[in-house]
Amino acid sequence: MLTAMSAPEPPEPTLGELLDERLRELHERHRPLGAGASARYYTPGRGYSETPWGGEDELFAISFVTPEGEKHSVGDHERLFPLQSLSKVFTYVLALQDLGRERVLERVGVAPSGEEFSAIEFDERHHRPHNPMVNAGALVTTELVRGTDPAEKLDRILEVLRACAGNPTLAIDEETLYREGSDNDHNRAVAYLMRSQRMLLGDVEDALSVYLGACSVMVTSADLAVMGATLALGGVNPVTGERVLTRARTRDVLTVMYTCGMYDFAGEWAFDVGVPAKSSVSGGVLAAIPEKMGVAVFSPGLDEYGNSVRGTRVCQDVSVRLGLHVFATEDDDVLLDPAEVEAGIAATPLED
């Protein structure tokens, strides 16, 4: 007598498959911006506009990189965009490695400014820019990078960017650089003012050329997520296995990203999201979740702080639903147990 055979149980999804599912769900949920959600768009050489110049409002990518070097992406993750202010993170850490934290701290602080990233405001008590994540501070850290001339300094910054991304093809987009250079009077004014007060000591045009060159390096969200994972792992690139940055200086830059990386939204970000991060006017957001993952979002629509609307929302969502706030307990952190990631996908926000 024949008996019916039961169908085999489907295999349990792997952590990678669960992360891919999470990415697709995040992308789908946050694709609609809602009326009036994006305050403005930035285009090199054209500045800000309330209307996208060429479909930028539709561009949207999310990328994760795990400590094992696994890459997960969804959306426009192969679309190149300029680093802009994201480059400040890597220029700062290079200056720290070149000169040490005390010498760098003499020239640029580590306190939130409470002002827009382009504000002409300084730490008058210590006679220095507030932090390296605002434009004034980034101009100083650019000057501090070792090199006999601007070309050597920029080559060294590029070397660090490529090593952190695990991508030796990262390069400056000459058109972006030209456009930024042709419409850079504000940064030039800040730089000359700082030199008049001896906050900048060298040639202003040299500092500007290196700063704008670093801002004009093109990346994808997948590149950016690897860079975030490198920071999250204390300076070791999880894809190449190479130690790119020292652990001590990586800790320093992560601390400043946590307190200053999201400009005058930094306090709210630390409270709601709770991970080291950096944004840029090109629509990129880089988040480094220590020992857990690198996260990158690309979406050019900006809020009133100059941060990506979708990027902010995605990171808030990921932090709450997967329990990734730096002050989360082990009970909150579902990534400690891959079996709980699937439950985390459908989790609701924390309750009191």
Rounded Cα distance between 28 and 105, Å, is 43
Rg of the chain's alpha carbons, rounded to an integer? Answer: 21
pLDDT at residue 336, as a whole number: 42
Rounded Cα distance between 80 and 298, Å, is 10
**Pick from 23-37, 151-165, 229-243: least confident:** 23-37
Instruction: Check if the beta carbon of residue 43 is closer than 8 Å to that of residue 53.
Output: yes
Residue 293, SS3 per DSSP: strand
pLDDT at residue 185, as a whole number: 87
pLDDT, tens digit, for every residue of 283-326?
A: 999 999 999 999 999 999 898 888 999 999 999 998 888 788 88
Instruction: Check if the beta carbon of residue 76 is closer than 8 Å to that of residue 59.
Output: yes
* Average pLDDT value over all residues in the chain: 87
Q: Which two tokens stand for residue 81?
A: 């965009």
Architecture of domain 15-345: 3-Layer(aba) Sandwich (3.40)
Residue 308, SS3 per DSSP: strand
pLDDT at residue 182, as a whole number: 86
Task: List C-alpha distances in Å: 270 to 94, 129, 257.
Answer: 24, 21, 10
Q: Which helix (H) or strand (E) holds 287?
A: strand 284-289
pLDDT at residue 247, as a whole number: 97
pLDDT at residue 344, as a whole number: 44
pLDDT, tens digit, for every residue of 208-241?
A: 999 999 999 999 999 999 999 999 999 999 999 9
pLDDT at residue 55, as a whole number: 72
pLDDT at residue 334, as a whole number: 56
pLDDT at residue 50, as a whole number: 73
pLDDT, tens digit, for every residue of 256-285?
A: 999 999 988 888 999 999 999 999 999 999
pLDDT at residue 341, as a whole number: 46
Helix orientation angle between 87-99 and 135-144, rounded to the nearest 10 degrees: 40
Instruction: Check if the beta carbon of residue 171 is closer than 8 Å to that of residue 217.
Output: yes
Count CB-CB contacts under 10 A for residue 351: 4
Rounded Cα distance between 21 and 57, Å, is 24
pLDDT at residue 37, as a whole number: 67
Rounded Cα distance between 280 and 264, Å, is 13
- Give the mean model confidence (pLDDT) for residues 107-124: 78
Task: List C-alpha distances in Å: 98 to 102, 133, 144, 249.
Answer: 11, 18, 8, 10
Instruction: Check if the beta carbon of residue 221 is closer than 8 Å to that of residue 62.
Output: yes
For the chain, the domains span: 15-345
Instruction: Check if the beta carbon of residue 304 is closer than 8 Å to that of residue 46.
Output: no
